[in-house]
Structure 1
Amino acid sequence: MLFADTDRGRAFAKDPAVVKLNGIYYMYYSMAPNESPAMKSEWGLGRGIGVARSFNLRDWEKIGEINPEQECEKNGICAPGAIVLDGKVHLFYQTYGNGAKDAICHAVSDNGLRFAKNSSNPVFSPTGEWNNGRAIDADVIVWDERLFMYFATRDPLGKTQMQGVAIAELNSGFGHGAWHQACDSSILKPELPWEQECIEAAAVCNREGRLFMFYGGAYNNCPQQIGCAVSEDGITWTRLSQEPFLPNGGPGSWNACESGHPFLFTDEDGRTYLFYQGNADMGRTWYLSVTEIGWRNGLPYNKGEFSI
């Protein structure tokens, strides 16, 4: 499966998040900025979040967009994380184009397409001397009867990207003031050569009472590759390997420049699927793909192609 949104002048879809609601799969992703002379690069302002639908996890059709509306979103929004709670889709996404002031926002939907945005947005940004106040790339999971939100932030100099975690009560509404940081330090930061200066885009799942985090190591196209770590408490993490779990592709492949920004989706039958982004042209275009994750002796492995 290779999916890209072409509505804004080029094939582009990044930062996938997938849920299943009423028997239908919904995928949320970052769209390209609008094409204009002032927005020729990947990093142009004006991005929004696309919504695609599927009935088999392979064939996706774009059905809508979530665009900036609130004052804090005026430069753009992107990088959604999604979860279904009590029959509603909760979307946690970031503001864009504000540097160290980018933060996490929240919206909710009862049909997967039309979202009501939290009036208190942005709902979270980190504090403490260990970070620069930025929060991006949210991923959420119910753990220990609370909602854990994993986010990426940077060191005070804005150079090194690393992981943090915040927690909210399930009945809190997830607005501003509902979140508290679980610790006053990074829970995972780059240490291995292939991770370079970045760990971002946590994708967390619960497997037999342990949490597994798939993450993007290194900044985009450096190349970013996907690693994996495990935790007993959601805060202290141990890498499963010194090498990437899912590396970038070889020369000439669709993901030659990176395999990055993962999202782990667990279906109703317990099967798990790793969605991720890639490209072969240093970020001019971006595609989304998926591979099935198998489990052997309690640890994940890449099963590759799958049938539904």
Structure 2
Amino acid sequence: MKRLLLILFVGCLSVAAFAQRPAMMFGDTSRIGVPYSKDPHVVNFKGNYLMYYSIPPLKGDPSSGWNIGIARSKDLNNWTKVGEITPAPGADYEKKGLCAPGALVKDGKVHLFYQTYGNGKDDAICHAVSQDGIHFDRNPTNPIFRPTGDWNCGRAIDAEVFEFKGRYFLYFATRDKEYQIQMQGVATAPVNSDFSREDWVQAADSSILYPKYPWEGKCIEGASIAQKGDKLYMFYAGSYNNAPQQIGVAESTDGIVWKRLSDEPFVRNGKPGEWNSSESGHPHIFTDADGRTYLFYQGNNDNGKTWFITQNEVIWRDGKPGLQ
């Protein structure tokens, strides 16, 4: 009887452990030999889903810098790596690295917005365009945006570009002058823009979302936008990586003034032993062609020795999001 109870107990633990793992667990092992994928962003492009994500420097070669991986899928669950975006020859602004991609499809092309990495306060937002979603041509005006004003340090990372009410909104994370607090800013460009530097105008001379609640710590970053009716919803990461980072949601009617939906996280980090116990972070809310929405985000349970990307469908009831 004791042996039977032990078998049943172990079996229950196995089922519980399996249940804690989501259907999608993507980890790129090509760079350092263990799963390590961060900052997901997905588009539906020419009959496939393409996911852009950050990958670390090559094992044994830190000078290779952070780069961007590309994976392809037919079903949003099973992904195959199909390419990388590495520093372009002659593009000195990104020679130390590039990461944190954001993408949109316009006029049959993929437009990629990404940050330079490794330059501290000088990191900025860049733009590139692709016919096939894999090979990209840089915007000759790169970097296309960095913020100004006494409220920030001049750095811009984690770009998200979204069309709303006849303009493109560029959401970015920046830090204060002391380089301690990470917060959200926004710039806009006309709807007919080619996304060059001269088209972007800073739309607010202060942070549009600043850490407020204890779970947000000293950081709000990784903003991603979905539209429902006449409102925008921003899914954002609160607190620095593994603090733990968790995901919140805010709403806006004009793209500039934002109100949180709750003082608690929308997606928390997991419990001890679960795959995302160290964090659930850097969200991307992907809206498919049929209007269904999926929340992609990163997580790990070893304080950043590995990183996985997962997704859950988001269901909207009475104009508010909830997880499937």
SS of residue in 2 equivalent to 1:177 = helix
Distance 2:141 2:253 in 1: 32
In angstroms, what is the RMSD of aligned CA positions?
A: 1.0
Offset, 1:171: 2.0
Distance 2:225 2:295 in 1: 11
Aligned position for 1:282: 303
SS of residue in 2 equivalent to 1:186 = coil
Distance 1:24 1:132 in 2: 39
2:223 is the counterpart of 1:199: no
User: Which has a greater percent of helix?
Assistant: 2
Distance 1:25 1:170 in 2: 25
Among 154, 159, 175, the residue aligned to 2:180: 159
Distance 1:247 1:134 in 2: 28
Question: What is the TM-score when the length of structure 1 is the normalising length?
Answer: 0.95
Q: Which runs of structure 1 show a deviation greater than 2 angstroms over 4 or more consecutive aligned residues? A: none
Q: Quick check: 1:45–1:97 contact (8 Å CA) kept in 2?
A: no
Q: Which runs of 5+ in 1 are unaligned?
A: 304-308
SS of residue in 2 equivalent to 1:278 = strand
Aligned position for 1:306: none
Deviations 1:127-157 (A, max 9, x none): 0000000000001110111110100000111
Question: What is the TM-score when the length of structure 2 is the normalising length?
Answer: 0.91
Aligned position for 2:288: 267
Aligned position for 1:145: 166
Superposed, 1:18-33 pairs within 5 Å as 18-33=42-57
* AA matched with 2:27: A
SS of residue in 2 equivalent to 1:111 = coil
Distance 2:291 2:71 in 1: 22
2:5 is the counterpart of 1:5: no
Q: Quick check: 1:93–1:138 contact (8 Å CA) kept in 2?
A: yes
Aligned position for 2:4: none
Distance 1:140 1:172 in 2: 12
Distance 2:172 2:310 in 1: 22
Aligned position for 1:57: 76
* AA matched with 1:275: F
Distance 2:171 2:160 in 1: 5
SS of residue in 1 equivalent to 2:215 = helix
Q: Which runs of 5+ in 2 are unaligned?
A: 1-23
* AA matched with 2:43: V
Q: Quick check: 1:45–1:96 contact (8 Å CA) kept in 2?
A: no
| Identical pairs, percent | 58
2:125 is the counterpart of 1:104: yes
Give the total of aligned pairs: 298
Distance 1:254 1:68 in 2: 32
Q: Which has the larger radius of gyration?
A: 2
